[in-house]
Structure 1
């Protein structure tokens, strides 16, 4: 405690707040922050201006006193028993914690461990402390005596050397808080985080637990910094270290920062964020960051920090031990004042620091502006100095006192061994603190706020965490707003809840949801790709490959559309495929149909001309019947494209290839017969030739029928084994579903085309050899050119047909049919039509005899 005498502040070992009772609850609560340890208990540091008082921690002291007072007024709990308490200040010091613990175990006002002569000092349990190290020091001593210890601050990492039997945590299991932080990051899609942890055992445990869990859920860390404790003896080093750390935070692309620590870390954090105002950092303009603070970091400040700007904490999200408002406690706080309160050794020091005044009747070496009137009220203090609302720590202390009281009451009801003194009060001569454990571990009750209080098998409070949004007004007024909850008792899908609309972010973000990413999200139509040498949260965005889409932000991979859909241009959604086939309604189908009709009409005209001049020499030459058969076959060739245009059906699919193959084989067979007829006629004119018996219509008919029937046989085999059928092709063309005729057997299709090519090559070869035979109206040279065109067309058809897809395959086939047929028509029949129509004088017997005479003379 502080002894304000002689102008200096010294530490004493006396309890600064005590109240006698039949049963005593001890409290070791941190109030004055000691920046360094004294060399021994007889040398006390000089606390400059007493500026290291944590005024907000005074509420923790009052919470214990209020709970005891409330219990003593309640006849339902501990009837005929008065509950007392003794509170010591730990000074945030492990040494002073050990001393205070031993003081509780000693006779009051006498520091004699293991010796008790004061019957009024019956210690039944101890509440404390705030720091994990302090709690650990207490547990090392109290565990030996098996005195129940209820810690309200950070849970220490307990080794096997410490008896954990005496240890109870008034805070929930920390694993729930870790899960809550992870849920928070996943909820807001933050994947790039900063981590600041206190450089102690608890901080190391936090790192070892959270980093693997975060990584497994796709969250990386921009940097991890272990923050060392700052002492006033090395201020310059602290400022240099803090400035470097501050600049790293501001330069980071991460906007979400986790800070795990305790009250001392809160003081360090305030130092860190105040450095720009001291012009000690390179970064002049502070960027807004979202700070996620753990439950151990209750907002606190030293007295000299009360004037510092706290706008930087606006929008922070803090996990706190679940609490509810205690209305009677607020009334208790309002009634607190410097003059009317007795037995409170903390109040004078608090009043001086909180209200910046000198307590009356105290002589000090320094001058102040005014003396405390004693009429000041706690309600008038800024919330950054003192809060009237119940904090998580005060709520935990309040529940701890009640837990001890209920356990003690149960123990008394369960046993009958006791003695009565004259005034009717119970004496606990045969009751030891260790006997309370059996009842304390099983305690379960509802407090005045309606919350259930109980412990699990590990001595941890069965409760959850509140998520609080810290808000700072323009006048530096500090507020807390509950915006969510991490409740491990709820169903798994409801354990984490948060109200996004209730959160106010830092003004830097202009109330838009802050993003915390290593790089911007990949937009729809793109996918992630790893950047070598960087964490997996850092990636490049590359467009989806052809045929795939990504319809959400930040997709790891692109996906294929359903078979009946295809990617749009931006590859961010799938569009329904349209049915596609070569129809008369589209330009390509219309043009091909018109050309087919035009050539049909031209062929009909040629046939009409030949029939009109049926008896002329030029028509009769080279077998008139073959000429008519060839023209009719060409008429059918020009009509066959009609089968390829329009929606494929079973009948049209069967007729397409079969009719095309047979008709073209008939046409080529006629050409071959004409060519062979010319060759045989020339050879028959030689004296003694045996070829005369082959000259006539029988050979020509045999060639035509034979060539056609062979093709018909191939087609019959095709129909019998694997006939063509209507089919749907969803893959050849990205944007369309192709309605087509499947050949059934591709090999049979190419056999048909190959046989037709064979006939054409034979015709070309024979015509080429007979092209210079001396005969009037010799067709051989015209057939040579026509078959050259025919072969060229169908040779180019094969690669063209195989390289095109969908309706264009049919267009290629129609084009080849029309072109090759037009070649036969034009090169064989147009020269004859020219003579018949424009040079009729050449189409007579006299010209024929004259031509023969000239040829013989020439020879």
Structure 2
């Protein structure tokens, strides 16, 4: 402060013709003494706890610089506010002082704690520290800072495992409790808003517990403490501290000013006297007559002692922080006074001058207060300086505590904060582990791609489980809250990290199911061919002739077509295959059932014609009529299929309804009515055949084919009745497999039930293959 005042007084452009005076009083760190000192200053009284320096006594002051504490500044503002006496604090950082309605006379050259709490929150977010602990002093400084930190990190995934409070009155027990909490916590990064003396107690307790693996975030109250940096007892605990510090700056000429100080030239400066005695081990000559008995034991100084070569933290001006804030406060007051004393209307009438100009001997505090609000200047260091309400633009340094070869710690500048902008040289940071690797402090590791976050019941949001995404859903970034469903034509990959096109799926000849069905169908064709050959070879035997050989050959041909039509359903569906497979299926089965129906009618006609008066009945069921009936029944199905396939044929279509990595390519029925008519007509013929065969089952003769037809049609109807629900409920390509199975099962049922007994007699019981045996009752 003295340096700034002397520098201003030497400045010919700032306050020309006016010399600043000052009075420095010590509050002894007590609010009531600070209030007493303030009242004495504005009233012109010189009494105080300790008079350090003075260049003017007995004259009231118009502006106060101080106090260092936010609490003391609050008290002074409440008392001096009605008097409009401006207060410029260099260290009071409470956010509450920004309220201009409550504290209109307060200014400060240190930013509000809101900005450092926000800066620390941004550091936590930047380094992904989602699980932290906090130790705060039990006053407004600690509570407001931690509230701001929590508000700033709200919704950003940062949680506090604990918040420990400490009080200076009970610091020993509080420090022990805080250290035990830190030791027990899984949080690896600890936030501390305390005074450096409190932090030292906590670090000493942690050193006793050998807790050296925590990363600390420091507030400006202790981030630059030389007392902590030089203490070897806590160096292992405190190494790697990352902190927000009051911005530092150089003051040109200040180092030379400090080194030129000498107690002989400042006999009233008790601090300088005591420092001289401790540093040089001698009594300055100016104080020998007033020396105490303890000081009298020291030899008198020679007068050649000097601070020129002394390396001490008191003479180190490389990083001026609080001193620079005081320097700015003095300059702010000087510029406000300069504005107040300037007379822009000097050439106007005296009446106007009296209203716009003030006399240096009659300065009103309220006028000085008004001009302080308008201060907007450039400091000697080239920095633009102005007040935003009570505050100055927020600027901080980011510092890091790093090891030195001697074992102590040193302060390293690693970045800065300008308002809301964070500028950080991350590569220059030395963490608590001694490496450049950012420490991890999380309750739960971030969910990798392919999973989603699921909160644990009753636990903080930062503690969660990672649940794999369901099939068809993906998450392609770390820490996803939700899994996203893939579009209908896509499906999730195995890792659930990307949507990939769904593979076309259809019943092919290459897969096991397709090979099995193909083998069964070919086997059916082979067996049918074998029966056909047997019947051709034994066509003149009574057994073959008795079964209406012409219709039997036609029936075997239709069964072979039924087996072959099943193969059309296997393979990649196309426009023509979709049309042909349904037509082949419908016509083949109608031809087969028509043969059976005509055979049943012939059996009934033969036995009915034996009755008296019914001889003419057999004329209606001759060979020509039988062939004509089969053609008629089959032609109706051909007409139905032709109409259906010409108006609304089945077409290949991707079935997206079935969920899975594959999309089924199937023949979609554009017209359900057409398909229903095809099946319905087959069912009508089958039911008619079953009914007629059932009526003819008890007719005489050893060989009554109606019994075999009845049993075969029962199997046929049972297969196709079971087919309907299985067809509707089957997924994907299994719809086709169900239809093929129904075709093969019903075809084998007809083949075996009708032709197996005949082949058994023809091949294994030739003695029964006689007309006499067949005609026997």
TM-score range for the pair, normalised by the shorter chain length: 0.7 to 0.9
1:722 and 1:322 mapped to 2: Cα distance?
83
Alignment of 1:91-102 (within 5 A): 91-102=28-39
> Quick check: 1:479 aligned with 2:410?
yes
1:599-626 deviations in Å (ceiling 9; x for gaps): 4455445445545665554444343443
1:285 aligns to what? 210
Partner residue in 1 for 2:670:
744
Match of 1:401 in 2: 330
Structure 2 distance, partners of 1:371, 1:851, is 155
Task: Name the residue aligned to 1:851.
Answer: 773
Q: Alpha carbons of 1:604 and 1:534: their partners in 2 closer, same or farther (altered >3 Å)?
A: same
How much does 1:75 deviate? 3.1
Deviation of the 1:438 alpha carbon: 2.9
Aligned-pair CA distance for 1:340? 7.2
Q: Does 1:269 align with 2:203?
A: no
Cα offset for 1:248?
Answer: 0.9
Would you say the 8 A contact 2:22–2:55 is kept in 1? no
Residues 696/259 of structure 1: CA separation in 2 closer, same or farther (3 Å cut): same
Equivalent in the alignment of 1:459 = 390
Give the corresponding residue for 2:440.
Answer: 515
Greater Cα offset, 743-752 or 671-680:
743-752
Distance in 2 separating the partners of 1:333 and 1:308: 31
2:569 is aligned to: 644
State how far apart, in whole Å, the 2-side matches of 1:587 and 1:754 are: 32
Q: 1:550 to 1:398 in 2, by over 3 A?
A: same
Instruction: Tell whether 2:121 aligns with 1:199.
Output: no
- Contact 1:322 1:463 (8 Å CA) reproduced: no
Matched with 1:498 is 424
Task: Provide the rounded CA distance (Å) in 2 between the counterparts of 1:776 and 1:148.
Answer: 131
1:412 lines up with 2:341 in the alignment: yes
CA positional deviation for 1:587? 4.5
SS at match of 1:466: strand
How many angstroms does 1:521 deviate by?
3.4
Hey, what does 2:237 align to over in structure 1?
A: 312
**Matched-pair contact (CA < 8 Å) for 1:378–1:388:** no
Distance 1:617-1:168 versus aligned 2 partners, 3 A rule: same
Q: Counterparts in 2 of 1:47-86, with a 5 A limit?
A: 64-86=1-23
CA distance in 1, matches of 2:584, 2:516: 22
Counterparts of 1:148 and 1:746 in 2: how far apart (Å)?
92
Q: Does 1:820 align with 2:746?
A: yes
- Per the alignment, residue 719 of structure 2 pairs with 793
Report matched runs for 1:379-458 at 5 Å.
380-381=311-312, 388-414=317-343, 428-456=360-388, 458=389
1-structure distance, mates of 2:119, 2:414: 13
Structure 1 residue 168, shift from structure 2 partner: 0.9
Query: What is the rounded CA distance, in whole Å, between the counterparts of 1:367 and 1:526 in structure 2?
Result: 78
1:137 and 2:40 are equivalent in the alignment: no
- Tell whether the 8 Å contact from 1:143 to 1:162 is kept in structure 2 after alignment: no
In the aligned structure 1, how far is the partner of 2:13 from the partner of 2:403?
A: 42
Tell me the residue number matched to 1:557. 482
Q: Distance in 1 between matches of 2:57 and 2:182?
A: 58
Residues 328 and 119 of structure 1: CA distance in aligned 2, closer, same or farther (over 3 Å):
closer
1:215-246 Cα shifts (integer Å, max 9, x gaps): 4433332222332223xxxxxx5322321221
> Equivalent residues in 2 for 1:572-611 (5 A)?
572-604=497-529, 606-607=531-532, 610=535
Matched, 1:146 2:84: yes
In the TM superposition, what are the counterparts of 1:795-810 in structure 2 within 5 Å? 795-810=721-736
Aligned-pair CA distance for 1:664: 1.8
Question: Whole-Å Cα distance in 2 between the matches of residues 749 and 852 of structure 1?
Answer: 43
In 1, distance between residues paired with 2:768 and 2:213?
103
TM-aligned CA distance change 1:777 to 1:364, over 3 Å = farther
Q: What per-residue deviation string (whole Å, max 9, x for no partner) do you get for residues 139-186 of structure 1?
A: 234434423221121334359998633211212344333432332222
Native 8 Å contact 1:333 1:378 kept in 2: no
Contact 1:267 1:301 in 2 (8 A): no
1:469 equivalent to 2:469? Answer no
Quote how far apart the aligned CAs of 1:132 are. 0.3
1:88 is the counterpart of 2:25: yes
Where structure 2 has 5 or more consecutive residues not aligned to the other structure, the ranges are 351-357
Moved more, 708-717 or 148-157: 708-717
Q: In the alignment, does 2:114 pair up with 1:175?
A: yes
Q: Distance in 1 between matches of 2:36 and 2:578?
A: 102
The verdict on how the C-alpha distance between 1:474 and 1:764 changes in structure 2, with shifts beyond 3 A counting, is farther
Residues 686-695 or 804-813, more deviating:
686-695
Report the 3-state secondary structure (helix = DSSP H, G, I; strand = E; otherwise coil) of the residue aligned with 2:12.
Answer: coil
- RMSD of aligned alpha carbons: 4.1
> What per-residue deviation string (whole Å, max 9, x for no partner) do you get for residues 424-462 of structure 1?
xx9712333332233321222233444321112x22102
SS at match of 2:337: helix
What is the alpha-carbon distance in structure 1 between the residues aligned to residue 26 and residue 158 of structure 2?
A: 41
Residue 173 of structure 2, aligned match among 218, 225, 240: 240
> 1:840 Cα shift?
6.9
User: 2-side partners of 1:140 and 1:372: how far apart?
Assistant: 48
Aligned equivalent of 1:251:
184
CA distance in 1, matches of 2:576, 2:668: 13
- Equivalent residue of 1:105, what SS? helix
Distance in 2 separating the partners of 1:416 and 1:526: 74
**Structure-2 separation of matches of 1:273 and 1:386:** 28
* Total equivalences in the alignment: 755
Name the SS for the 1:197 alignment partner: strand
Per the alignment, in what secondary structure is the counterpart of residue 77 of structure 2?
Answer: helix
1:679 aligns with 2:618: no
The residue number in structure 1 matching 2:225 is 300
2:164 to 199, 203, 225: 225
SS of corresponding position for 1:640 = helix
- CA distance change for structure 1 residues 496 and 298 in 2, over 3 Å: closer, same or farther? closer
Contact 1:468 1:484 in 2 (8 A): yes
Q: Distance in 2 between matches of 1:654 and 1:368?
A: 122
For 1:367 and 1:736, the matched residues in 2 are separated by: 100
* CA separation of 1:110 and 1:252: change in aligned 2, threshold 3 A: closer
**What TM-score results when the alignment is normalised by the length of structure 2?**
0.84
Give CA-to-partner distance per residue, 1:509-550, whole Å, 9 cap, x none.
x54322333333344443333333333333334333343333
Match for 1:540 among 442, 456, 465?
465
